[in-house]
Amino acid sequence: VEKVDISQYYEVYVDSSLEKDYALRDDFITIREGSIASFEIIAFSLAHTVAMEYYERITEKFFQKINFYDDIKKLGMIRMKEKELLQFIAELLSIKHKIVNELYLFDKPEIVWDDIRLERLYTSLYAFFDISDRFKSIEYKLNFMNENITFLYDVLHARKSHSLEWVVIFLIG
C-alpha cells in the first residue's frame, strides 16, 4: 500500500455578528453559528477536496503508466499482452467506481435535507472547492484512457482472431 500525504488546512471562525450565515475566503470560512452540523458540512466538504486530490494524483500516475504510444510509433506494434490491457481496463473502472461509490460525490449529506441554511453552505463549499469540475476532469482522463486501452484490446483481439483463422485454414488444408 502506497502511503499518501495529502492534507488541506482550512480555518473555521465563528462570528455571531456576521450578517450572513457564512463567509467563504481562500483559506478560511467564517460562520455565524458554530453548530455541530455546520462543522460536519465543512469537514465533509474538506474530505471531498482531499479525496479529489488523491484521485487526481492516482489518475495522473496511471496516465504516466500507459506508454504504449511510443511502441506503436517506433515498432508499429503493441508489446503489451491482452491480459495486461484487461488489467488496465479493470483498474480504470475500479478508480471510477471508488470515486462514485465511496465518496458519495453526488449525494448530499442527510443533515442538509431539512435545513436550507446547511444546504446553502454545502452547495457553496462544493462549488468553492470545485468538486464537480475536478471530478469531470478526472472522469474525462479516465474515459480517454479507457477508450484508448479498449481500442488496443480490440486490435489485439482481432490480431489473435486473425492468427486463429490462419491456423484453421492450415488445419483444413
DSSP per residue, 49-82 = HHHHHHHHHHHHHHHHH--HHHHHHHHSS--S-H
Its pTM surpasses 0.85: no
* Cell numbers for 158: 482481432
For residue 29, the 8-state DSSP code is E
| pLDDT tens, per residue, the chain with 173 residues | 466 778 788 899 999 999 999 999 988 999 998 889 999 999 989 988 888 898 898 888 887 777 667 777 777 777 777 787 788 888 888 888 888 777 766 678 888 888 899 999 999 999 999 988 988 898 898 888 888 888 877 877 787 787 788 888 888 88
